[in-house]
Amino acid sequence: MKRLICSILAGALLFSGCADKNIAHTTVTEPTSTQATHEFEYVTFDAKVMKRTGDSLLLGDLGDTVGSIFYLHTDDDTIKAGDTVEVTFNGIVMESYPLQLGDPSFKLKEQGTSLLPMLEELYHELWERDRLLNEDLNVIAVNFDKISVISDIEKEALRKILDDYMYSNHDISVIESNFEKLKEENLLKPYGDIENAYHFPDGLLISFESREDTSLPVTSFTMSITKWRSPLGAYGINIIANLDGNEWKYEIETEFMA
Distance, in Å, from the CA atom of 155 to the CA atom of 120, rounded to the nearest integer, reads 11
Same domain, 170 and 58: no
Where a domain ends, among 87, 110, 133?
110
pLDDT band at 38 (very low <50, low <70, confident <90, very high): low
Distance, in Å, from the CA atom of 175 to the CA atom of 223, rounded to the nearest integer, reads 21
pLDDT for position 218:
84
Where a domain ends, among 89, 110, 131?
110
Same domain, 194 and 243: yes
In terms of pTM, does the model score above 0.85?
no
Same domain, 50 and 101: yes
Same domain, 152 and 64: no
- Domain count for the chain, please give it: 2
Q: Can you give the CATH number for the domain in which 95 is found?
A: 2.40.50
pLDDT for position 24:
42
Same domain, 130 and 67: no
Whether the per-residue pLDDT at 215 is higher than 80: the answer is no
**Residue 28 structural domain:** 2-110
pLDDT band at 31 (very low <50, low <70, confident <90, very high): very low
Same domain, 247 and 124: yes
Whether the per-residue pLDDT at 201 is higher than 90: the answer is yes
